[in-house]
Amino acid sequence: MNLILIILPIVLILLSQAYINTSYRKYSRVSVKSKITGASVARMILDKNGLNDVEVVKISGELTDNFNPRTNVVSLSSEVYSGNSIASVAVAAHECGHVIQHKEKYAFIVLRSILVPVVNLTTNLGYIIMLIGIFASVFDMAMVGFIMMCASLLFQLVTLPTEFNASKRGRNILLELNVITNDELPHVKSMLNAAAMTYLASFFASITQMLRLFLSINRNNRD
């Protein structure tokens, strides 16, 4: 059982990464009919929503795209920024979906922002408390640490609707702005679904890891 709980998270993460990488490479080779680049798409979406103060910049790497609400910057990887593929416009629109979420104070994005410092504190402190409890054979202390670490699961759970909603917003705007056609929509959906699966896989992988820790604490208590 313990071996399965060790291997399963690794398998889930590897499969999800393989899926997103395969999908990204596939749709990176398919140009949108409008020939609009990811950078242009991002600028169009932001300006349409009155977000002229949000900057769009190019960064290095692959699938490193993100929006930083503290600096008000949408960072797009080189291929997404300059490319006019299905993958480029889909990823750019997704990141702009996050910007709109912040503007509209979307409930889950607000909750996630609140949880960030809480999770950072409880996860790190909880790990220390749990280890002390295990080595000192104090079951209650170990369980307190474990429960504190479970805050990370709540954060990941809140992240899921945030990511799915950003993707939905992104693809709807792509259609609205005529960046993609109805025929291209299924390809955009497929690309964004592949990206979302990485968050889903990470969540389930974390559940199995926490279950393994819980079983380890209980086994230590019986011994």
Tens digit of pLDDT at every position of the chain (223 positions): 667 777 887 888 888 889 899 999 999 999 999 999 999 999 999 999 999 999 999 999 988 999 999 999 999 999 999 999 999 999 999 999 999 999 999 999 999 999 999 999 999 999 999 999 988 888 899 999 999 999 999 999 999 999 999 999 999 999 999 999 999 999 999 999 988 888 998 899 899 989 988 888 888 766 6
Residue 8 has what pLDDT? 81
What's residue 216's pLDDT?
84
77 exposure class (CB count in 10 Å sphere: 0-12, 13-18, 19+): buried
Neighbouring CB atoms inside 10 A of 43's CB total 20
Q: Which of 112, 96, 102, 104 is nearest to 172 (CA)?
A: 96
Q: What sign results for the dihedral spanned by CA atoms 31, 34, 39, 42?
A: negative
Q: Do residues 19 and 62 touch, judged by C-beta distance below 8 A?
A: no
Q: Provide the annotated active-site residues.
A: 95
